């Protein structure tokens, strides 16, 4: 985390928490970062500090305070499937069944591969290799499914709203424009605002929406922009049978989806996010 932004959180987070005691960690952090977007001098300080920033331990209240949706994000799963369309329970149930069948098949295959590797290690009597193999355990689940019944909080929400509900906000330097490329105008915090970009951290979010009923696909939501001009909250669609494998590869093998540097993200969802970015009312 940027050291100057961490200082701002340390200074302002307790004040915000006292003023809005019924909210939670994620909304309190959003209120602090809102102050940054309204103050060019703070933006300049964060940009200046970025070159010298190092990762800091997550031991502050703004990292560890409770949040109303922490229960939803608890668990070993690395991805969250969020239902935002409640018009067809049958389609939803079918989608979840296909996703979980593919997940079970993937985890079974991984576990069998680990067993084979462990047997080979034992035959080789290589203690070091055996120790490494035993230290890597297969998760029992990759995707956590929620919610399963109608909830106004999630009804037709945008990618950005989902990030703000289930992830923690942060800030970073915006990606650099390619040579000969102009900076985005008008500026937007999800792409480039004063040289900075609003980003999120936490479990990967997959969104089930109205389109999911038609083609059994969901939106994979990005937590930060890719190349310059792409935005935090961008998404593309993946089918139920591919979700678990994609999530596993992204989380455990650091696979990155970048379309080879091309901008092939869903433009309509991006426009929706950019429009909502200036307001905290969506959360």
pLDDT at 57: 62
pLDDT tens, residue by residue, 73-106: 999 999 999 999 999 999 999 999 999 999 999 9
Mean pLDDT of the chain: 89
101-115, 120-134, 162-176, range with greatest mean pLDDT: 162-176
Exposure b/e, 97-120, CB count within 10 A at least 16 = b: eebbebbeebbeebeeeeeeeeee
In this predicted structure, the answer to whether residue 53 has a pLDDT above a threshold of 90 is no
| pLDDT level of residue 149 (50, 70, 90 thresholds) | confident
Count of CB atoms situated within 10 Å of the CB of 222: 24
* Domains of the chain, each with CATH number or no CATH: 1-68+168-201 (no CATH), 77-157+202-220+229-267 (3.40.50)
pLDDT at 257: 80
pLDDT at 131: 45
With beta carbons less than 8 A apart as the criterion, state whether 50 and 9 touch.
no
Q: Which of 151 and 21 is assigned the larger pLDDT?
A: 21
pLDDT tens, residue by residue, 180-209: 888 999 999 999 999 999 999 999 999 999
C-alpha distances in Å from residue 247, one per residue of 241, 250, 278: 11, 5, 30
DSSP-derived secondary structure letter, 228: B
């Amino acid at each position: 985390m940027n050291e100057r932004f961490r200082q701002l959180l340390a200074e302002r987070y307790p004040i915000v928490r006292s003023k809005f005691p019924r909210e939670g960690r994620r909304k309190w952090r959003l209120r602090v970062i809102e102050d940054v977007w309204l103050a060019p001098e703070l933006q300049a300080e964060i940009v200046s500090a970025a070159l010298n920033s190092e990762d800091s331990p997550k031991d502050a209240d703004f990292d560890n305070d409770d949040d109303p949706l922490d229960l939803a994000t608890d668990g070993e799963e690395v991805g969250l499937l969020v239902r935002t369309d409640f018009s067809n329970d049958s389609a939803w149930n079918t989608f979840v069944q296909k996703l979980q069948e593919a997940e079970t098949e993937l985890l079974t295959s991984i576990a069998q591969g680990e067993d084979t590797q462990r047997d080979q290690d034992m035959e080789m009597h290589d203690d070091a290799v055996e120790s490494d193999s035993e230290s890597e355990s297969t998760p029992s689940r990759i995707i956590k499914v929620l919610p399963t019944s109608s909830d106004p909080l999630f009804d037709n929400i945008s990618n950005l709203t989902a990030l703000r509900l289930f992830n923690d906000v942060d800030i970073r330097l915006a990606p650099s424009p390619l040579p000969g490329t102009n900076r985005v105008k008008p500026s937007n915090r999800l792409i480039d605002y004063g040289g900075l970009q609003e980003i999120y951290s936490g479990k990967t979010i997959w969104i089930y929406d109205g389109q999911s009923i038609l083609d059994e696909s969901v939106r994979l939501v990005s937590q930060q922009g890719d190349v310059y001009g792409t935005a935090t909250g961008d998404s593309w669609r993946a089918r139920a049978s591919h979700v678990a494998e994609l999530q596993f590869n992204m989380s455990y093998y650091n696979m990155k989806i970048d379309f080879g540097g091309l901008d092939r993200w869903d433009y309509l969802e991006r426009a929706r996010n950019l429009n909502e970015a200036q307001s905290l009312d969506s959360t």
